[in-house]
Amino acid sequence: MASRDQFQRFLFEHSQVRGAWVQLGESFKEITGQAPYPDSVRELLGESLVASVLMSSTLKFKGTLSLQAAGEGALSTLMAECSHDRHIRGLARFDADAVSGETLHELLGKSRMAITITPEQGQRYQGVVPRESETLAGCLEEYFERSEQIATSLFLFANEDTAAGLLLQRLPGHTDDDDDLWNRVNHLARTVEAEELLSLDSETLLHRLFHEETVRLFEPDPVAFRCSCSHERTLAALEAIGKDECYSILDEQGSINMDCQFCHANYRFNRNDIDHLFTGHTLH
């Protein structure tokens, strides 16, 4: 059986209409296995991870794209990130006693959502995602329409062990023929069932949906859960906290312990480490 952890771009020949498909299996289970997520939170996190991978297909440089939401409901934090080489990570913070709804609005309540693009070189960009739609896919479609002026359709699904999605976009410079094609492929795509996206491989799915169109598939890319935390990045975070705060923690606790929220890696720093961080040499 082909790996479920794959991303694949495709386009409709001789047109300005393109697409992308992704299916997550082991990577999704690794991420959601980091916490006892309720079904509704796990599925929304899965949709977010899928969306981050699909949207990363628009990156033209090395870096990351992340989708973040902060809410006042039972789900207080939602974050999914994908790098240019399809490494993903994500998390959700929630009040287990308060989780009762299933929709985006019911879980997040009053909230803010944003897409952040962080290149390895250059300035970080952040765009606000509208929250009018009832679904995550609808919110992101509105984002592309308003912020990028690119007509976009997104289909996002997740269950207990798989997450999958499909993206269609009509690029600028489209012709009347492209508009006709866009209407046709959208009509066809909206017939897709969750089970089809979650279980079928890309070739089978795209043939089932668009067999009357000429579709070119690019080579698939593997997708994997990989956390970008490190000893050096954690030290940089301590440096940002500041010298006084770090030494205050040392005086109180004897060492500074930091856990990565994405992979639960633990980083421990003693006084010598903090001396070297702020002075360049050991004082004790």
Give pLDDT tens digits for 176-218.
888 899 999 999 999 999 999 999 999 999 999 999 999 999 9
Q: Give this prediction's pTM.
A: 0.84
For 23-34, what is each residue's pLDDT tens digit?
Answer: 999 999 999 998
Mean pLDDT of 226-252: 82
> If pLDDT is split at 50, 70 and 90, which confidence band does 48 have?
very high
- Helix or strand run (H / E) with residue 216: strand 215-217
Helix, coil or strand: residue 133: coil
Quick one: CATH architecture of 6-225? 3-Layer(bab) Sandwich (3.55)
Name the strands in the sheet holding 75-83, side by side, starting at the edge strand that comes first in the sequence.
Answer: 125-128, 111-119, 63-71, 75-83, 87-94, 224-225
Give domain 231-279's CATH superfamily.
HSP33 redox switch-like (3.90.1280.10)
Residue ranges of the domains in the chain?
Answer: 6-225, 231-279
> If pLDDT is split at 50, 70 and 90, which confidence band does 232 have?
confident
pLDDT score recorded for residue 1: 41
Q: What CA–CA distances, in Å, run from 177 to 13, 17, 129, 216?
A: 12, 10, 30, 18
For 100-131, what is each residue's pLDDT tens digit?
Answer: 888 999 999 999 999 999 998 889 899 999 99
